[in-house]
Structure 1
Amino acid sequence: MTESIVRVPEDRAEEYRRRGWWLPLPITDVALGSSSSYADRCAVVDGDRRLSYGELAAAVDAAASRLHRLGIRRRDHVLVQLPNSLEHVVVVLALIRLGAPPVVTLPALREYELDHIIRVTRPVAMAVPRRSRRFDHLAMAERLRDRHPEIRTLLVTDDDRSATAAQAEELTDLTALTLGGILPGVRIPQDDRRPLAAEVPEPPGPRDNALFLLSSGTTGPPKAIPRTHEAFGHVVRSAAEVSGLTEASVYLAVLPASHSFVFGHPGILGTLSRGGRVVLAAPDDARRTLSLIERERVTHCALTPAVLLQWLAAIEPGRHNLTSLEVLQVGGARLDTTTARKAREQLRCQIQQVYGMSEGLLNFTRLDDPDVVVDETQGRPAAAGDEFLVVDEAGREVSAGEIGELLTRGPSVLAGYYRDDEGNARSFTEDGYYRTGDLVRVHPSGNLVVAGRLKDVINRGGEKIPADELEGVVLTHPGIGAAAAVAMPHPVYGEAVCLVVVNAREPAPTLLELRRFLEDSGLARYKLPERLILAEALPLVGVGKVNKVALRTEVARLIASDHPPADGQHLLQADV
């Protein structure tokens, strides 16, 4: 496949290499380069399944060979949408090892988002679970394959035997591919008759693309973010350093491992690069997670504020021994001062605020920052060489302490989205700074304080919901004449979606009907509105643009009132 990657200008790239920020190492060497030194040490835990470093390295090489036998070649792309599991870790590393960049995709995304991602990245294969959280991923993958014939192969975890015989012949057992011959009880694929090592191609070069992350989708469908080995390696090493990870560290991956925060910022890769142990879990049950911390003696974990609040509500004095916990990283949304202090008091560990983006820039409060700085700020750049500016609407730097838009560039930061010339023209300055769209100010400590967003986006517990994307899907409903999505306060997630609509016909759709329509349209469930307000007209400004400022004010006034919803307003508390 011909690559369409925007490169950092060569003069800056050579400086990054000369200063040792970009090293000539593939990501698999960053993560597993020292595995021979501690081959018997536990590397990854997934429930009752465990892989040592030696077993993980062997599984990655074997899976790379098996993928190669399936016809997946260097510079092919493979979409990976898997829950936290050994299969996820092995197949992503194997694809990176093979030089076939994985497109690492959150399990919560559905057809609407994936259709766009597939059009941009053109994967030749998809790796999915059969079912997850009562959702049929396999059926969705088959529908997407029908629309995108370049997808030749479906790799499916073998945790559900409900597939038909015809399906089974068309599918590749991902558990066997990644763990066959490594874990007891996992069958070895029938074609494994030749020596695997003889078929593993040479590793890709450091300047090659290692993988695709996805943007948070603040201006529409997610954008594909190509990360080269040398640039992403710099991010992983820098994040691991400021997080205090060592070979004695035990990292709990409880948020989706497909998220850059959990996968490599520093997350799974950062922990492996230091010789630590990764424990895979899911955020469904806070009490079960607390028990896992006690059982595995977890030292580090990354959470969003919403999940942290669930933890704090689940803690019962004397029930769990959480004394192993050293560092709790909180990111994805701004952590308020009250919750930060409460977490420190109840969990008895260091709180580390993290503000970053899949595009590259990572800011961390430091482990030796005073508590007041940790509570009030979102950190400063972790990686050497990363620059930032805070500018006004005209692009001029603001005075110290004033609020402006954050711009950034450096060895951690991408130079352009993949196959998106129009988006790149909007998102990057002529001298290579990335426009984050975030409003910040610089704290007297030198750390950044996030003050808001330029982009029209709703931040639901760390999940970014672009209002214009949601509105576009809502307007395909025949009963809706106009629509506007705005944030409303939520006691757990911080923000949730309030949808204000003008109906095109009677009777007006209910919130439940609209949610079902949006879900049937392939929209991810976390993007569904949690309140519906019917209006005679939307407030407008200028040449007819919806006045979101006035709309947010009116929604906040309505929600803050003591009165129940008026006629024509529907409120649904949903499990989303």
Structure 2
Amino acid sequence: MWIPRPDPGRARRYHAEGWWRDVSIGQAVAASCAARAHHVAVLDAQGGTLTYAELDAASSRLAGWLQNQGVGSGDIVTICLPNRAEAIVAFLGALKLGAVLNPVPVTYGPADMAYVIGKCASKAVIVAGRFRSADYTAYMARILPDLGHAPAVLVLGEGAHAVGTAWEEALARAPLADTAVPDADGPAAVLFTSGTESQPKGAVHSHNTILFGERAMARALDLTADDIAFMASPISHATGFLHGFAMTMMLGGTLSLLDVFTAPAAIAQMRAHKASWTMGATPFLTDTVRELAARSEALPDLRYFLCGGAPVPEEAVRRAADADIRVLSIYGSTESPPHTLVHPDDPAENAWTTDGRPLAGIEVRIAGADGGGVATGEVGEEWSRGPNTFLGYLDAPDLTAKALDADGWVHSGDLARGFPDGSIRIAGRIKELIIRGGQNISVREVEEKLLRIPGCRQVAVVGIPHERLGETGCAVFTVDPGTTITLADVQRFLIEAGTAKFKIPERVEVWERLPMTPSGKIQKYLIRKQLTDGIGAGGTRP
């Protein structure tokens, strides 16, 4: 398995400049545990509460169980848990062994789970028994026989199938005797992201790339150990993992976790826990501020609401301001975690007119087709470079070379324009990607499955605007004579194929023909325009 490493020249420079240090994530959290033993580290919606001393003890017991299962330094541990205190125990327990974390969103279906576990050759898998409508014991029972290797399985809660070891049994084991001290430049996490390729890609981050990015963000926001972070974004997704777990635990602050988001529940928990900042996709913001406005209420302790994944509506920013909440738009990717931010001293309107300006130590450029710069205000591809960028894709050197050039620039595939103050504005995407409620959907992956529907001749999946989610998917088909394909057909087919529910199109069209170029390529921008203009193409909508 090919695991990328930092470029030696850039690594030397980042260490010399103080951006990178000889400290791992586990060591940073251990320092918080020692300094703030009796301070509350984690709270959750089920009433779970852990002080730093309790987190330290529980994670050591979990690490002892993992070690007993043969997990050691450099092994990958896949963790698919909802926003509960136990997820933080799992992260820290694996880090104490020097293992590499692979957080997996709870929205993954069995096909995605099987892919990432196989790709990572995961030595252990930690899952919930059930969460919402998903039974992860059923997923594991389906996955394990065909996996090709036998990871240890740990289950939090009950499911329909008897697989692995129960959480309580694992935590009854003796604690780990000796905590590992990993290389801070070595891999710390594999974060999967769906891009334009049909399969998810595993972005490898080191301890230093993660810690630098979180320190830079904390400095920009003046966050300290006294802050309380509210996180409804999945803790096993990049946003929750990086900014909920890594940053909050590094600072020695308190993390408030909500596993099922509704605006009333979020407001109640932020008020009860006195949350001082939060971060989430645009739907979280719009739902929260609408609920606050309807109640004529405020959240007096909440200073910042960081928002990304889709354009931030002006109305939502103004409603938040009425409740004394400052909205700060933020932009980045799993490969280059949020690297531009509307800073607290920027004008308020920057939250809806820009996607922020670079954090200290990170470079951003807008590149033309030849790789050279473009004039201020002109559109080009957004590139970023800095101590926060990923090392490469797991076992994919060719894909890495496409996304990360020899000079260390990450090519985002997003079109953007720059402003004189250094802010940028995303203008569109080169790569075919739907961002639904902050989660990335590879259209090619969905299309490849839909092409297997009997009677399907062609299919194009495109993103169409949605007031709350930013975008949702629409599948447009051409079919054999006498064939009908409905939304119910598509949903049933993709669910049976193990597709995650958030990836399933929410609208289906059957057209007589799709717009094509002379060379036979489907012109998706015309499909998107026809759908959003309500024109159609002589077809019918089921």
Interval of TM-score (by shorter of Structure 1 and Structure 2)? over 0.9
TM-score w.r.t. length of structure 1: 0.89
Secondary structure of the corresponding residue to residue 74 of structure 1 = coil
Partners of 1:321 and 1:392 in 2: how far apart? Answer: 45
Of the three residues 307, 310, 315, the one matched with 2:287 is 310
Task: Tell which deviates more after alignment, 13-22 or 216-225.
Answer: 216-225
C-alpha offsets along residues 54-79 of structure 1, whole Å, 9 cap, x if unaligned? 11112222211221012212222121
Contact 1:245–1:271 (8 Å) recurs in 2: no
Partners of 2:223 and 2:471 in 1: how far apart? Answer: 32
Partners of 1:321 and 1:550 in 2: how far apart? Answer: 43
Contact 2:195–2:431 (8 Å) recurs in 1: no
- Which residue of structure 1 lines up, in the alignment, with residue 541 of structure 2? 569
* Structure 1 position 342, deviation (Å): 2.5
Of the three residues 357, 369, 373, the one matched with 1:380 is 357
Secondary structure of the corresponding residue to residue 127 of structure 1 = strand
Query: Letter of the aligned partner of 1:95 in structure 2?
Result: A
* Structure 1 position 316, deviation (Å): 5.4
Contact 2:75–2:100 (8 Å) recurs in 1: yes
Secondary structure of the corresponding residue to residue 470 of structure 1 = helix
Answer yes or no: is 1:172 the counterpart of 2:165.
yes
Query: Letter of the aligned partner of 2:240 in structure 1?
Result: V
Task: Tell which deviates more after alignment, 314-323 or 207-216.
Answer: 314-323
- Which residue of structure 1 lines up, in the alignment, with residue 267 of structure 2? 290
Partners of 2:276 and 2:39 in 1: how far apart? Answer: 17
- Which residue of structure 2 lines up, in the alignment, with residue 212 of structure 1? 190
* Structure 1 position 388, deviation (Å): 2.3
Secondary structure of the corresponding residue to residue 5 of structure 1 = coil
Contact 2:358–2:422 (8 Å) recurs in 1: no
Answer yes or no: is 1:235 the counterpart of 2:213.
yes
Answer yes or no: is 1:356 the counterpart of 2:332.
yes
* Structure 1 position 487, deviation (Å): 1.6
- Which residue of structure 2 lines up, in the alignment, with residue 102 of structure 1? 101
- Which residue of structure 2 lines up, in the alignment, with residue 30 of structure 1? 28
Aligned length, in residue pairs = 540
Answer yes or no: is 1:483 the counterpart of 2:483.
no
Secondary structure of the corresponding residue to residue 91 of structure 1 = helix
Answer yes or no: is 1:389 the counterpart of 2:365.
yes
Secondary structure of the corresponding residue to residue 414 of structure 2 = strand
C-alpha offsets along residues 56-113 of structure 1, whole Å, 9 cap, x if unaligned? 1122222112210122122221211111111211111211221121211111111332
Answer yes or no: is 1:444 the counterpart of 2:420.
yes
C-alpha offsets along residues 433-472 of structure 1, whole Å, 9 cap, x if unaligned? 2211011111222111111110111221212222211111
Secondary structure of the corresponding residue to residue 323 of structure 1 = coil
- Which residue of structure 1 lines up, in the alignment, with residue 519 of structure 2? 543
- Which residue of structure 2 lines up, in the alignment, with residue 400 of structure 1? 376
Partners of 1:451 and 1:125 in 2: how far apart? Answer: 41
Contact 1:234–1:383 (8 Å) recurs in 2: no
Contact 1:389–1:408 (8 Å) recurs in 2: yes
Of the three residues 476, 485, 491, the one matched with 1:515 is 491
Query: Letter of the aligned partner of 2:125 in structure 1?
Result: M
- Which residue of structure 2 lines up, in the alignment, with residue 471 of structure 1? 447
Answer yes or no: is 1:506 the counterpart of 2:482.
yes
Partners of 2:473 and 2:180 in 1: how far apart? Answer: 48
Contact 1:383–1:412 (8 Å) recurs in 2: no
Contact 2:231–2:244 (8 Å) recurs in 1: yes
Partners of 2:169 and 2:273 in 1: how far apart? Answer: 26
Secondary structure of the corresponding residue to residue 349 of structure 2 = helix
- Is the alpha carbon distance of 1:371 and 1:529 closer, same or farther for their aligned partners in structure 2, counting shifts above 3 Å? same
Of the three residues 380, 384, 404, the one matched with 1:428 is 404
Of the three residues 259, 263, 282, the one matched with 2:237 is 259
Secondary structure of the corresponding residue to residue 534 of structure 2 = helix
Secondary structure of the corresponding residue to residue 458 of structure 2 = strand
Contact 2:210–2:388 (8 Å) recurs in 1: yes
Contact 1:127–1:155 (8 Å) recurs in 2: yes
Query: Which residues of structure 2 form unaligned runs of 5+?
Result: none
Query: Letter of the aligned partner of 1:326 in structure 2?
Result: R
Of the three residues 337, 343, 349, the one matched with 2:320 is 343
* Structure 1 position 319, deviation (Å): 7.0
- Is the alpha carbon distance of 1:319 and 1:432 closer, same or farther for their aligned partners in structure 2, counting shifts above 3 Å? closer
* Structure 1 position 124, deviation (Å): 2.1
Query: Which residues of structure 1 form unaligned runs of 5+?
Result: 181-187, 571-576
Of the three residues 450, 471, 488, the one matched with 1:495 is 471
Secondary structure of the corresponding residue to residue 258 of structure 1 = coil
- Is the alpha carbon distance of 1:150 and 1:408 closer, same or farther for their aligned partners in structure 2, counting shifts above 3 Å? same
* Structure 1 position 317, deviation (Å): 5.5
C-alpha offsets along residues 520-574 of structure 1, whole Å, 9 cap, x if unaligned? 1111111111111111221111321101122112112227x9xxx987312xxxx
Partners of 2:180 and 2:123 in 1: how far apart? Answer: 21
Partners of 1:555 and 1:321 in 2: how far apart? Answer: 38
Partners of 1:317 and 1:539 in 2: how far apart? Answer: 44
Query: Letter of the aligned partner of 2:258 in structure 1?
Result: A
Query: Letter of the aligned partner of 1:37 in structure 2?
Result: A
Partners of 1:320 and 1:277 in 2: how far apart? Answer: 24
Contact 2:282–2:469 (8 Å) recurs in 1: yes
Contact 1:502–1:537 (8 Å) recurs in 2: yes
Contact 2:98–2:181 (8 Å) recurs in 1: yes
Contact 2:197–2:445 (8 Å) recurs in 1: yes
Partners of 2:258 and 2:137 in 1: how far apart? Answer: 22
% of aligned pairs identical?
A: 28
Contact 2:2–2:397 (8 Å) recurs in 1: no
* Structure 1 position 201, deviation (Å): 4.3
Partners of 1:424 and 1:248 in 2: how far apart? Answer: 39
* Structure 1 position 162, deviation (Å): 4.7
- Is the alpha carbon distance of 1:272 and 1:535 closer, same or farther for their aligned partners in structure 2, counting shifts above 3 Å? same
Equivalent runs, 1:325-336 vs 2, <5 Å: 325-336=302-313
Of the three residues 1, 4, 7, the one matched with 1:6 is 4
Answer yes or no: is 1:411 the counterpart of 2:392.
no
Secondary structure of the corresponding residue to residue 546 of structure 1 = coil
Secondary structure of the corresponding residue to residue 351 of structure 1 = strand
- Is the alpha carbon distance of 1:551 and 1:125 closer, same or farther for their aligned partners in structure 2, counting shifts above 3 Å? same
Partners of 1:152 and 1:529 in 2: how far apart? Answer: 33
Secondary structure of the corresponding residue to residue 429 of structure 1 = coil
Query: Letter of the aligned partner of 1:506 in structure 2?
Result: G
Secondary structure of the corresponding residue to residue 225 of structure 1 = strand
* Structure 1 position 296, deviation (Å): 0.9
- Is the alpha carbon distance of 1:490 and 1:318 closer, same or farther for their aligned partners in structure 2, counting shifts above 3 Å? closer
Partners of 1:243 and 1:54 in 2: how far apart? Answer: 27
Query: Letter of the aligned partner of 1:393 in structure 2?
Result: A
Answer yes or no: is 1:454 the counterpart of 2:434.
no
Partners of 2:32 and 2:437 in 1: how far apart? Answer: 36
- Is the alpha carbon distance of 1:105 and 1:326 closer, same or farther for their aligned partners in structure 2, counting shifts above 3 Å? same
Query: Letter of the aligned partner of 2:212 in structure 1?
Result: H
- Which residue of structure 2 lines up, in the alignment, with residue 184 of structure 1? none
Secondary structure of the corresponding residue to residue 519 of structure 1 = helix
Partners of 2:181 and 2:451 in 1: how far apart? Answer: 48
Query: Letter of the aligned partner of 2:273 in structure 1?
Result: E
- Which residue of structure 2 lines up, in the alignment, with residue 183 of structure 1? none
* Structure 1 position 336, deviation (Å): 2.8
Partners of 1:8 and 1:525 in 2: how far apart? Answer: 36
Query: Letter of the aligned partner of 2:41 in structure 1?
Result: A
Task: Tell which deviates more after alignment, 89-98 or 235-244.
Answer: 235-244
Partners of 2:169 and 2:303 in 1: how far apart? Answer: 36
Contact 1:126–1:151 (8 Å) recurs in 2: no
Partners of 2:417 and 2:260 in 1: how far apart? Answer: 32
- Which residue of structure 2 lines up, in the alignment, with residue 322 of structure 1? 299
C-alpha offsets along residues 145-184 of structure 1, whole Å, 9 cap, x if unaligned? 11113133211102x2654xxx2xx51112443xx4xxxx
Secondary structure of the corresponding residue to residue 272 of structure 1 = helix
Partners of 2:139 and 2:109 in 1: how far apart? Answer: 8
Contact 1:215–1:224 (8 Å) recurs in 2: yes
